[in-house]
Amino acid sequence: MTYANAVSGVNGVDGEGARRLTVVTAGLSQPSSTRLLADRLTEAVRRHVAGDVEVRVVELRDLANDIAHNMLTGFPAPGLRDAVDAVTGADGLIAVTPVFSGSFSGLFKSFFDVIDKDALAGTPVLAAATGGTARHSLVLEHAMRPLFAYLRAIVVPTAVYAASEDWGATATRNGDRPGHGVDDGVDGTLAARIDRAGAELAALMNARPSRPVGGVGEAGATGAGDETDDDAVVPFAEQLAALTVRG
Amino acid sequence: MQFGIFTVGDVTTDPTNGRTPSEHERIKAMVTIAQKAEEVGLDVFATGEHHNPPFVPSSPTTMLGWIAARTDRIILSTSTTLITTNDPVKIAEDYAMLQHLADGRVDLMMGRGNTGPVYPWFGKDIRQGIPLAVENYALLHKLWREDVVDWAGKFRTPLQSFTATPRPLDGVPPFVWHGSIRSPEIAEQAAYYGDGFFHNNIFWPMEHTKKMVGLYRRRFAHYGHGTEEQAVVGLGGQVFMRRNSQDAVREFRPYFDNAPVYGHGPSLEDFTEQTPLTVGSPQEVIERTLTFRDAVGDYQRQLFLMDHAGLPLKTVLEQLDLLGEEVVPVLREEFAKGRPAEVPDAPTHASLVARRDAEAATDGNAMEVRA
């Protein structure tokens, strides 16, 4: 599957302007529970964002080779560049990884390693992870939060961990509560945590100005703040003055 | 338009036979390659500067001085001269000396260097890479233009009543290119001084090169050195040729697959698609190189990387025959077509002397009018 095929449908593109939500999912199996969690989180964010949401899903599995090549060559192949642009140009980011060897997966980390370290500064992020048991849930606090702190992104307070057993627990409890949506679900269920995290990310996204749809990648932009924009250049006199060269 | 070659000076094992040349062999091969470049009609030979194995060219002016004594016509240049970790006073003196010995056949390309430990080895801080490039070049620029310099800066001991010797040949400093792949600050620096800007695009998609050159051109015009079209642009290139395209691919693939920098990464096919690397017939190299102009406009200097990744000397010399005899003559002809008259050639010592004299004459006339 190519990246283009991995990009999900665009929601509400009626010209009013929309907020961009990019979803990075590092699950390897197909179908994957990591993607499943990513989709539930996406729906939750969508419910809480005022106005339209333009959603792009980045499946890292499809980009695995390009990510490795970027590490060796120093530049992204076109498919990866498109994905990086979608991440760095987003108003909100959902990042979901499976837990491997007690941390985020190597593929997940590698993707963020090839993104410019300043490109996510100020971007709202919802961090989430999946694993076989609940024993690794602190991965969210001990690995995911420090990663996004380094990137100076804004991580919402609720991070969502889904162990295999949570999928059953969620279904059972929601099933037990006919007529009740997940919005007022029992605190502590996966559905309730997903909804709370989604609301937190949506609140940060709502605080950002909505933008015309489809702007990412236009005018040759390579992400947030193109380094070759004339506006991005510090005039040379200022560079010299900063050094107080005399004589 | 000028055509030439640039060398990194790497000592790399030939992956097809496991043989690694000695440093002595590599150094001698580099000067043989430079002489061959002149013989086949190329305009420029440029050497890198490195201070760590597996690279040999730590002392560019020594090597270029030797080549200058054995050549008559080719311009000797660098790719790059480390403006961050070298003392700008020593650069001013070394290259002025070389300029005299080579009768003006010298220019330089400034670069920051990307090997982390070189900075501390030379007493510098890599985090200050851009400020070092800015301050050191400001001093170098002054040392070549003012006989007596008083100067104080952030990174070097101050100078009082200092004169760099020898003075530049005919009072005209060597032309300077600024090389950078990613840093808009360096494009801005080149534009500010009206110097050349060289984008070593060999490992990068052309789209990125186009943006960096575009920025340099706009800022060059902004600083009043001429129109955007008159800015002085150089590009890198990387080719491997055989008369038959399939032979070129078959022969180069093991060198590509094991090359420093991109080896063991993307396929040869992907890399040739995504970067300017061209592996094929001379005609394919001609066609690909001509597309560079579509991306960056009419430009002044095209340098090719021909001798890296463990390619044997014999093969490199064969490549230079093809480049000089079959590729460059056609490129000269084709690049000349449709090139506007106001687009300048790359400056040479002779053209810089002529420009200086013309400006002096204009100033003199103005003085007479005022008188």
Kindly report, residue by residue over A93-121, the tens digit of the pLDDT. Answer: 999 999 999 999 999 999 999 999 999 99
Beta bridge partners of A163: A131
Least confident of B57-61, B81-85, B200-204, B322-326: B200-204
Q: Which of B139, B184, B263 sits opposite A233 (nearest CB)?
A: B184
Higher pLDDT, B271 or A183: B271
What pLDDT does A231 receive? 64
For position B139, what pLDDT does the model report?
Answer: 98
| B2, B258, B304, B313 from B310: Cα distances, Å | 27, 9, 16, 9
Q: Total domain count for chain A?
A: 1
B365 compared with B36, residue with greater pLDDT = B36
Contacts of B153 in chain A (CB under 8 A): 243-247
pLDDT cut 90: percent of chain B above it: 91
Is A247 domain-assigned?
A: no
pLDDT tens profile A8-47? 444 444 445 799 999 999 999 988 999 999 999 999 999 9
Tally of CA atoms within 13 A in the half-sphere of A167 that contains its CB: 12
At residue A238 the predicted structure's pLDDT band, cuts being 50, 70 and 90, is confident
Q: Give the pLDDT confidence of A63-72 residue by residue, as tens digits.
A: 999 999 999 9
pLDDT of A216 reads 42
Distance CA(B324)–CA(B42), nearest Å, equals 6
Looking at residue B182, its pLDDT comes to 87
Lowest mean pLDDT: which of B137-146, B262-271, B312-321? B262-271
**What pLDDT sits at residue A187?**
55
Tell me: pLDDT of B186 over 80.
yes
Considering only CB atoms, A234 lies closest to which of B185, B204, B212, namely B185
Range of the domain at A76: 3-241
Residue A219 predicted with pLDDT over 70 = no
Q: How many CB atoms lie within 10 A of CB A71?
A: 12
Q: How confident is the model at residue A172 (pLDDT cuts 50, 70, 90)?
A: very low
List Cα–Cα distances, A223 to A87, A154, B5, B74, in angstroms. Answer: 8, 18, 34, 42
pLDDT-based confidence at A245, cuts 50/70/90?
low
Tokens 């790059």 belong to residue: B80
Q: For residues A76 and A71, what is the distance between their CA atoms, to the nearest angstrom?
A: 9
Q: Within an 8 Å CB–CB cutoff, is residue B199 touching chain A?
A: no
Residue A242 in contact with partner chain B when CB distance is under 8 A:
yes
Mean pLDDT of chain B, nearest integer = 95
ipTM: 0.80
Per-residue pLDDT tens digits for B293-308: 999 999 999 999 999 9
pLDDT value of residue B201 = 86
Contact A239 B130 (CB under 8 A): yes
DSSP code per residue over B17-60? T-----HHHHHHHHHHHHHHHHHTT-SEEEE---SSTTB--S-H
Say yes or no for a CB contact (<8 Å) between B131 and A243.
yes
Written as six digits, the tokens of A142 are 């001990």
CB contact under 8 A, B192 and A236: yes
- Split at pLDDT 50, 70, 90, the class of B107 is very high
pLDDT at A185: 45
User: By the 8 A CB rule, do B324 and B282 touch?
Assistant: no
Provide the shortest C-alpha distance from residue B178 to chain A (in Å). Answer: 14
Substitution target in B211, B212, B223, B261 with the highest count of A β-carbons within 10 Å is B211
User: Is residue A246 situated within a structural domain?
Assistant: no
B78-87 mean pLDDT = 96
Residue pLDDT, tens place only, A68-88: 999 998 899 999 999 999 999
Task: Count Cα neighbours of B37 within 13 Å in the Cβ-side half-sphere.
Answer: 32
Q: What does the alpha-carbon distance between residue B315 and residue B251 come to, in Å, rounded to a whole number?
A: 10
Average pLDDT over residues A167-181: 52
The string of DSSP codes covering A69-97 is HHHHHSS--HHHHHHHHHHHT-SEEEEEE
Contacts of A239 in chain B (CB under 8 A): 130-131, 134, 185, 188-189
Using the predicted structure, report yes or no on whether residue B159 has a pLDDT greater than 90: yes
Average pLDDT rounded to a whole number, residues A140-145 = 98
The answer to whether the Cβ–Cβ distance between A73 and B207 falls below 8 Å is no
Cβ <8 Å between B266 and A247: no
Cα gap B111→B195, rounded to integer Å = 13
Q: CATH number for the domain including A88?
A: 3.40.50.360
Domains and CATH numbers, chain B: 2-345 (3.20.20.30)
Within an 8 Å CB–CB cutoff, is residue B141 touching chain A?
Answer: no
- A180 within a domain of the structure (yes/no): yes
Tokens of B323: 């480049």
B366 has a pLDDT exceeding 90: no
- Find the distance separating the first CA and the last CA of chain A, reported in whole Å: 62
Return all residues near A75 (Cβ < 8 A) that are at least 6 apart. Answer: B203, B204, B205, B208, B274
A227 CA to chain B: closest CA distance, Å? 7
Q: CA-CA distance, B364 to B358, in Å (whole number)?
A: 10
**A178: confidence class by pLDDT, cuts 50, 70, 90:** very low
CB spacing of A72 vs B208 below 8 angstroms: no
Chain-chain contact of B184 with A245 (C-beta, under 8 angstroms): no
Name the band, by pLDDT with cuts 50, 70 and 90, for residue A145: very high
A236–B189 C-beta distance less than 8 A: yes
Mean of the pLDDT values across residues B276-284? 97
In the chain, the amino acid numbered B134 is V
* Interchain contact B117–A (C-beta under 8 A): no
Query: Is 70 exceeded by the pLDDT of residue A175?
Result: no
Residue in chain A nearest B264 by alpha carbon: A72
| Residue A247 CA: distances (Å) to CA of A128, B85, B123, B194, B362 | 57, 21, 24, 21, 28
Q: Which of A72, A236, A240, A244 to mutate to test the interface with B (most CBs of B within 10 A)?
A: A236
